[in-house]
């Protein structure tokens, strides 16, 4: 038993360690402005899409099952994402204690301060001017961008904040410190997450001249994670000028949802046989969106009074999905009943044996 527990603990530690290598994103400026992020995590994790108001500002935020916020955009078009990073330098145990004459902040401070208060990168940099970024218990770095063509990655440095600004109308981020490889050709970087970074860089070089929404989604697909312990659970394509977010769930780039930050709605954008639109208000989870994607009967009932456009369940695919759910539910019920029956038979037989032993004695 003790050996099994040790093995389970080792598997958990490996899984946690692998999370540091996941997630990636980009900002692209061409005819339109696009921000993209792939959220890569072990299967089974959920995330919540939320919309909050601060005075006259409306903010779209996403946080995971553990309450960690990792991406968002406000209605002024300012974008932020926070992902894990594997440092290439050791700053030493006393690094933070060497800078007591400036205000210390961590990645999450920059994330929230920017989204809740600013509309452009000049304001963000003004905020950073007299502050030093340090790692918290989890090592993170940020990418931020505005609609004016300004995007940058902000990272912990040994003696100053390390800021990598956009070049050539696009900027990509993965799980290695960007500043450390600033003089390395992109396709020669060997570090955590560099494979997805290179895939995205290759894609943008080939398609930058005609980059549009479709290319934005395809670029996220090119940068996706496919295991072995972490996967792209959700891809986000932000269009700040429209105040919308396009979402692909579990690497399904054929069926896309559209989130309106202004309206607080989720609607089918493409790939769905029967369109639907719901007013979700303050929050909705990715798992709920996935069930809506599959026309899950229980979730359709849950959102019954929130539909603006109700799905037509007479359509073949929607109807077929409901039939499969009904059949699956039936077999699950039969399986449970059969299991209980078998347990009952075993229990009665054992009870009869004990009774017979008592009689023989």
Q: How far is residue 235's CA from residue 267's CA, in Å, rounded to a whole number?
A: 16
Asked whether the predicted pLDDT for residue 318 surpasses 90, the reply is no
In a domain, 269, yes or no: no
48-95 pLDDT tens trace:
999 999 999 999 999 999 999 999 999 999 999 999 999 998 776 556
Read off the pTM.
0.83
pLDDT single digits (tens) 258-309: 999 999 999 999 999 999 999 998 899 999 999 999 999 999 999 999 999 9
Given this model, what pLDDT does residue 345 score? 65
Query: Residue 349 falls within a domain, yes or no?
Result: no
Contact partners, residue 82, CB within 8 Å, separation at least 6: 69, 70, 71, 107, 108, 111, 140, 141, 142
The Cβ-side half-sphere exposure at 311, using a 13 Å CA radius, reads 30
CA distance 83 to 342: 49
Sequence-distant (6+) residues with CB within 8 A of 253 are 217, 218, 220, 221, 235
In a domain, 241, yes or no: yes
Residue 31 lies in domain: 16-262
Per-residue pLDDT, averaged over 343-353, amounts to: 63
Residue 185 has pLDDT above 90, yes or no: yes
Is residue 49 domain-resident? Answer: yes
Is 126 or 7 the better-scoring residue by pLDDT? 126
Q: Is residue 79 part of a domain?
A: yes
Residue 355 confidence (pLDDT): 56
The answer to whether position 255 is within a domain reads yes
Output the DSSP codes for 102-163: SEEE-HHHHHHHHHHH-SSHHHHHHHHTTEEE---SS-EEEEEE-TTS-EEEEE--SSS-EE
In this structure, the strands spanning 151-155 and 33-41 are unpaired
Report the domain count for the chain. 1
Q: Is residue 213 part of a domain?
A: yes
Asked whether residue 302 is domain-assigned, the answer is no
Backbone angles phi, psi at 204, to 5 degrees: -65, -35
DSSP state of 32: S
Identify the CATH number of the domain in which residue 246 sits: 3.60.60.10
């Amino acid at each position: 038993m003790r050996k099994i527990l040790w093995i389970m603990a080792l598997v958990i530690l490996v899984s946690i360690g692998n999370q540091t290598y996941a997630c990636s994103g980009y900002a692209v400026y061409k005819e339109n402005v696009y921000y993209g992020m792939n959220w890569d995590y072990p299967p089974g994790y959920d995330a919540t899409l939320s919309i909050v108001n601060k005075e006259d500002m409306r903010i779209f935020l996403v946080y995971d099952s553990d309450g960690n916020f990792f991406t968002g955009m406000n209605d002024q078009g300012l974008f932020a994402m926070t992902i894990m990073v594997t440092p290439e330098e050791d700053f030493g145990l006393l690094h933070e204690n060497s800078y007591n004459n400036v205000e210390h902040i961590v990645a999450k401070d920059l994330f929230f301060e920017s989204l809740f208060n600013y509309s452009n990168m000049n304001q963000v940099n003004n905020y950073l001017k007299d502050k030093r970024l340090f790692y918290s218990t989890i090592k993170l770095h940020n990418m931020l961008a505005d609609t004016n063509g300004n995007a940058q990655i902000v990272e912990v440095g040994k003696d100053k904040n390390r800021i990598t600004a956009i070049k050539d109308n696009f900027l990509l981020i993965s799980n290695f410190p960007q500043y450390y490889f600033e003089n390395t050709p992109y396709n020669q970087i060997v570090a955590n997450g560099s494979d997805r970074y290179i895939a995205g860089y290759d894609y943008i070089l080939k398609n930058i001249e005609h980059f549009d929404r479709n290319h934005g989604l395809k670029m996220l697909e090119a940068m996706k994670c496919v295991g072995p312990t972490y996967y792209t659970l959700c891809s986000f394509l932000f269009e700040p000028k429209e105040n919308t977010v396009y979402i692909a769930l579990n690497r399904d780039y054929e069926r896309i949802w559209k989130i309106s930050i202004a309206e607080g709605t989720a609607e089918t954008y493409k790939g769905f046989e029967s369109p639907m639109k719901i007013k979700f208000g303050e929050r909705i989870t990715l798992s709920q969106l996935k069930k809506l994607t599959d026309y899950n009967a229980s979730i359709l009932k849950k959102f019954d009074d929130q539909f603006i456009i109700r799905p037509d369940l007479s359509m073949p695919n929607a109807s077929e999905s409901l039939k499969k759910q009904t059949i699956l539910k039936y077999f699950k019920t039969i399986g449970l009943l059969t299991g209980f029956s078998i347990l009952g038979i075993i229990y009665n037989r054992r009870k009869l044996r004990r009774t017979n032993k008592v009689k023989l004695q």
